[in-house]
């Protein structure tokens, strides 16, 4: 398998095609946060919305366009973290970021367990230009959670 084929593993293509959490919904939640992110390098764009109840993500939806990597990443994120508590979300975000900066080297079992199918993105870490594509939805999630959290305090 060539590096390029490895980057576009079937599982990534599947997630890009069957978009989990795609289509923005209005959450029935205690607090709501939304974030819009653009990756100008590639033209990827995403709007991600979360609903939080206490420390749990009770709603996670997004809308976006761009390359397969960015769409698959958002799709995977939604499947992994819709319903997760904020601590798990934070750990998963950190693990995914670490995966993107591992230059193609797999992470340890503990973090791979958190990431489940998202470990398929390991090959993307070898292509610095594509790392942003994979991370854009995760940046949107972090920002949306921060906005929702500020909302509850205000």
CB of 134 to Zn ion, least distance (A): 8
By beta-carbon proximity to Zn ion, the closer residue of 38 and 67 is 67
Write each residue from 70 to 89 as x if it is in contact with Zn ion (CB under 5 A), else as -, in one continuous string.
Answer: x-------------------
Strands of the chain, DSSP E = 31-39, 44-53, 56-65
Distance, in Å, from the CA atom of 12 to the CA atom of 39, rounded to the nearest integer, reads 19
Counting contacts by CB under 5 A, is residue 38 touching Zn ion?
no
Distance, in Å, from the CA atom of 74 to the CA atom of 54, rounded to the nearest integer, reads 23
- Member of 44, 48, 59, 64 binding Zn ion (CB under 5 A): 44
Counting contacts by CB under 5 A, is residue 67 touching Zn ion?
yes
- Nearest Cα neighbor of 15 from 122, 153, 141, 117 is 117
- First-to-last C-alpha distance (Å) of the chain: 53
- For Zn ion, the binding residues in 82-141 under the rule CB under 5 A are 133
User: Which residues make up the interface to Zn ion (CB under 5 A)?
Assistant: 42, 44, 66-67, 70, 133
């Amino acid at each position: 398998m060539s590096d390029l084929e490895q980057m576009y593993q079937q599982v990534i293509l599947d997630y890009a095609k069957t978009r989990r959490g795609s289509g923005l919904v209005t959450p029935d939640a205690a607090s709501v946060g939304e974030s819009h992110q653009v990756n100008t390098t590639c033209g990827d764009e995403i709007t991600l919305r979360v609903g939080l109840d206490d420390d749990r993500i009770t709603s996670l939806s997004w809308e976006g366009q761009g390359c397969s990597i960015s769409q698959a990443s958002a799709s995977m994120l939604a499947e992994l973290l819709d319903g997760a508590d904020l601590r798990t979300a934070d750990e998963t975000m950190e693990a995914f970021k670490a995966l993107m900066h591992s230059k193609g080297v797999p992470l340890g079992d503990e973090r791979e367990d958190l990431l489940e199918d998202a470990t398929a993105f390991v090959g993307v870490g070898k292509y610095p230009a594509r790392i942003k594509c994979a991370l854009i939805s995760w940046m949107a999630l972090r920002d949306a959670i921060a906005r929702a959290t500020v909302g509850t305090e205000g």
